[in-house]
């Protein structure tokens, strides 16, 4: 199991400012954010109290998402053909709902949402615009990862009228950074200084304003309407949303031996139940060996991928559950020229808990996927 560590403490306000606010809580509302029940990891210095709830709303069409199909089997999905929807959809999920593979396809701004079920790591395939959160805004481009901690409100606004697709994983267990230990450069797989953190902003509000947010808890959506739009004057802590460009990820490489995908881990849960790997441009000794994984593997291709050559392409994904052998497809093996630099961009979500495709995933399934 790969050890993990928390993300570095970041701060967007001067220390003197936070100290002053700490002793002025009555007039400067503060919000504590905690990743687990261990105390507050981050403090937000709000412009307005966030908890002034006015009323609820519901959306019966969004309430029930549990439409899984079993048994599980190796499959491929044309993810980029998914129809737009203002909220993330579930492609695969574990029986207990603790792990889900999500797709968020937008043709307009998303709703404001809170995922109370877990942390999310989203990968932008074609998403280009800004995520807004109470921490501030994040600029996101294609090929960026976006991390949204559990319970942090978020909304995406596209920079252009175009299809915007994010593919992601939701984990009920805290997602952290892999720790490759003291013998490898601290910037592997990336430096925390390259995490793009939100820039706080103030929102002018009047007494007539209100703000609605869809809350997902156990995959049932309920709308909460609060008095104030979320903003903050600054924040400090180790739990925060961020964006990370694949250009700032430095993959390990070996020219005499094939590296196991664990070497390409960029996010992981402490127990090893969930992890995310990025297969990026690098020197590659060989195509993967045949194997039967210890985890279910969902692989999304942002560019053509050597081991899947000729079978599936950019915008598609493959799914290989535990219990089924897989490896490079025969055509890819035939065409492999030996150790070389590959220009790949693929993202893998691994889950120890068995994942099952939903009806939505079945609608996107590429028929007759056999060679893997």
Cβ neighbour number for residue 325 with a 10 Å cutoff? 11
Q: Is there a contact between 187 and 155 (Cβ–Cβ < 8 Å)?
A: no
Instruction: Give the DSSP per-residue string, 147-213.
Output: EE-TT--BEEEESSSS-EEEEEEEESSPEEEE---TTS-TTSS--GGGSBPPBP------TT--EEE
Residue 297 lies near Fe ion (rule: CB under 5 A)? yes
Q: Is there a contact between 118 and 173 (Cβ–Cβ < 8 Å)?
A: yes
CA geometry: angle 96, 97, 99, nearest 5 deg: 115
* Residue 105 or 307 having the CB closest to Fe ion: 307
* Residue 183 or 289 having the CB closest to Fe ion: 289
Q: Which of the stretches 9-17, 180-188, 192-200, 288-296 binds Fe ion when contact is defined by CB under 5 A?
A: 288-296
Q: Which of the stretches 8-16, 58-66, 183-191, 297-305 binds Fe ion when contact is defined by CB under 5 A?
A: 297-305
* Residue 293 or 313 having the CB closest to Fe ion: 293
Q: Which of the stretches 48-56, 169-177, 230-238, 296-304 binds Fe ion when contact is defined by CB under 5 A?
A: 296-304
Q: Which of the stretches 29-37, 203-211, 225-233, 285-293 binds Fe ion when contact is defined by CB under 5 A?
A: 285-293
**Least Cβ distance, residue 58 to Fe ion (angstroms):** 41
* Residue 114 or 317 having the CB closest to Fe ion: 317
Cβ neighbour number for residue 205 with a 10 Å cutoff? 15
**Least Cβ distance, residue 329 to Fe ion (angstroms):** 12
**Least Cβ distance, residue 372 to Fe ion (angstroms):** 9
Sort 179 into a burial class: Cβ within 10 Å, 0-12 / 13-18 / 19+.
middle
266 dihedral zone (left: phi>0; alpha: psi -120 to 50; beta)? alpha
* Residue 227 or 322 having the CB closest to Fe ion: 322
**Least Cβ distance, residue 289 to Fe ion (angstroms):** 9
d(CA 132, CA 138): 6
CA distances from 164 to 18, 105, 127, 130, 272 (A): 37, 6, 4, 12, 30
Q: Is there a contact between 86 and 111 (Cβ–Cβ < 8 Å)?
A: yes
CA distances from 223 to 49, 58, 220 (A): 19, 6, 10
* Most distant CA atoms of the chain, gap in Å: 70
Q: Which of the stretches 78-86, 240-248, 286-294, 308-316 binds Fe ion when contact is defined by CB under 5 A?
A: 286-294
d(CA 115, CA 221): 9
* Residue 74 or 293 having the CB closest to Fe ion: 293
**Least Cβ distance, residue 33 to Fe ion (angstroms):** 35
Give which of 331, 242, 247, 272 is closest to 4, Cα–Cα.
Answer: 272
Residue 231 lies near Fe ion (rule: CB under 5 A)? no
Residue 41 lies near Fe ion (rule: CB under 5 A)? no
Total residues contacting Fe ion by CB under 5 A comes to: 2
For the chain, the C-alpha Rg in angstroms (whole number) is: 21
* Residue 93 or 297 having the CB closest to Fe ion: 297
d(CA 363, CA 360): 5
**Least Cβ distance, residue 351 to Fe ion (angstroms):** 13
Q: Return the residues of window 180-219 that contact Fe ion according to CB under 5 A.
A: none
d(CA 239, CA 152): 10
Q: Please tell me whether residue 108 adopts helix, strand or coil conformation.
A: coil
* Residue 37 or 370 having the CB closest to Fe ion: 370
**Least Cβ distance, residue 319 to Fe ion (angstroms):** 10
**Least Cβ distance, residue 259 to Fe ion (angstroms):** 13
**Least Cβ distance, residue 318 to Fe ion (angstroms):** 9
Binding mask 73-92 for Fe ion (x = CB under 5 A): --------------------
Q: Which of the stretches 8-16, 109-117, 291-299, 364-372 binds Fe ion when contact is defined by CB under 5 A?
A: 291-299
**Least Cβ distance, residue 166 to Fe ion (angstroms):** 23
* Residue 147 or 279 having the CB closest to Fe ion: 279
Q: Is there a contact between 138 and 242 (Cβ–Cβ < 8 Å)?
A: yes
* Residue 67 or 322 having the CB closest to Fe ion: 322
Residues near Fe ion (CB under 5 A) are 293, 297
């Amino acid at each position: 199991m790969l050890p993990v560590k928390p993300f570095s403490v970041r701060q967007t306000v001067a220390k003197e400012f936070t100290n002053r606010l700490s002793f002025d809580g009555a007039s400067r509302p503060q919000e504590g954010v905690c990743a687990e029940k261990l105390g507050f990891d981050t403090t937000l210095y709000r412009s307005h109290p966030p908890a002034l709830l006015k009323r609820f709303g519901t959306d019966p069409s969004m309430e029930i998402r549990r439409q899984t199909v079993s048994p599980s089997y190796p499959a491929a999905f044309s993810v980029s053909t998914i129809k737009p929807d203002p909220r993330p959809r579930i492609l695969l999920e574990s029986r207990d709902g603790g792990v889900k593979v999500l797709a968020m396809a937008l043709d307009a701004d998303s709703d404001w949402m809170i995922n109370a079920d877990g942390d999310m790591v989203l990968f932008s395939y074609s998403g280009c615009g800004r995520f807004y959160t109470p921490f501030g805004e994040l600029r996101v481009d294609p090929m960026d990862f976006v991390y949204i901690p559990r319970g942090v409100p978020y909304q995406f606004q596209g920079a252009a009228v175009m299809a915007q697709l994010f593919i992601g994983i939701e984990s009920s267990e805290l997602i952290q950074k892999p720790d490759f230990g003291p013998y490898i450069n601290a910037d592997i797989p990336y430096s925390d200084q390259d995490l793009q953190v939100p820039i706080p902003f103030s929102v002018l509000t009047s007494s007539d304003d209100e703000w609605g947010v869809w809350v997902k808890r156990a995959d049932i959506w309920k709308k909460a309407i609060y008095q104030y739009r979320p903003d903050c004057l600054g924040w400090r802590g180790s739990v925060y949303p961020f964006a990370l460009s694949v250009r700032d990820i430095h993959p390990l490489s070996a020219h005499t031996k094939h590296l196991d995908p664990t070497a390409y881990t960029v996010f992981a849960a402490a127990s090893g139940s969930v992890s995310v790997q990025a297969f990026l441009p690098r020197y590659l000794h060989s195509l993967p060996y045949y194997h039967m994984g210890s985890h279910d593997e969902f692989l999304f291709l942002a560019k053509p991928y050597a081991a899947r050559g000729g079978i599936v392409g950019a915008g598609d994904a493959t799914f290989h559950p535990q219990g089924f052998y897989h490896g490079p497809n025969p055509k890819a093996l035939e065409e492999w020229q030996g150790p070389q630099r590959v220009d790949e961009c693929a993202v893998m979500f691994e889950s120890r808990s068995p994942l099952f495709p939903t009806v939505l995933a079945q609608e996107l399934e590429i028929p007759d996927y056999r060679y893997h």
